[in-house]
Chain A
């Protein structure tokens, strides 16, 4: 019964992506339509680096929910952003192992260099910084996650190099010291041939 508010109109995100929508909704049975919430949020975020109010409302509409419910789910995950993050979203692990390995100094350095603090995005939209909890790569602390990629054992000089690469938009793919599960098909075989195992050496 409350007064309706006229929001600035934005072209709906999914309007021109019917196939994508059908595909995502098709993953779940009809009674579980709600479940499509996460992938839909993810689609928007990947494209727009955040999920704004209008998008939240749009997703709620698609799923027959209220925007509040979408917001409730979304706000649980620190990986969904309400405000746009930078082209390079720097996520610094602030949990114990990384902290001991110098994550705090790493944060200070990055913050100074980029001019933003935790939770902020710079004016150009290039950098944003977020302190995160354990990234599950404690053995190679300190860990810096740039967008979706892990950069491990980020020393000051390595960090400086990374920053330079990002400023020039030439960021290279990370070298995963721990042979993350994506790089190596058979980790056991990888260990057997003497490559580093990251968590306590070869058996």
Chain B
């Protein structure tokens, strides 16, 4: 049921897209268009973290950090560039369907599907600072991947590190 209503929402968003965005959007959190920035950290109209890609392909700082932190903490299971592996599902696909809250709850709390044939275990990362201090950045990166706004591999160009980022990182990592 939930899936259904999200899909409907996606269609609605796709229809209301401004002409400026060329890619077709399937996004579990709705329209990803960045409307507001707090020191280089972008939000969509619903207040969810989102990406901002310049005309020259330059990505915002958080999308870039998300790529690095995804590669450091998630790649070993979810595969390069969020594309999935024999071990864990594609997050590029997942983020077409799940919203920010579900994403956050899954990463913090974990998820399991263990049976005789399957042993899928998403570890609870809630206590892992290497993940939780960068959770929004990872989300933003994967959201951009799911929406087709960022391709495979390392983003070639990115915005400079905002001062607010360094402060928040130091506070969080302790």
Please determine whether chains A and B interact with each other in the same assembly. Answer: no
Q: Which residues of B contact A (CB under 8 A)?
A: none
Q: Which residues of A contact B (CB under 8 A)?
A: none
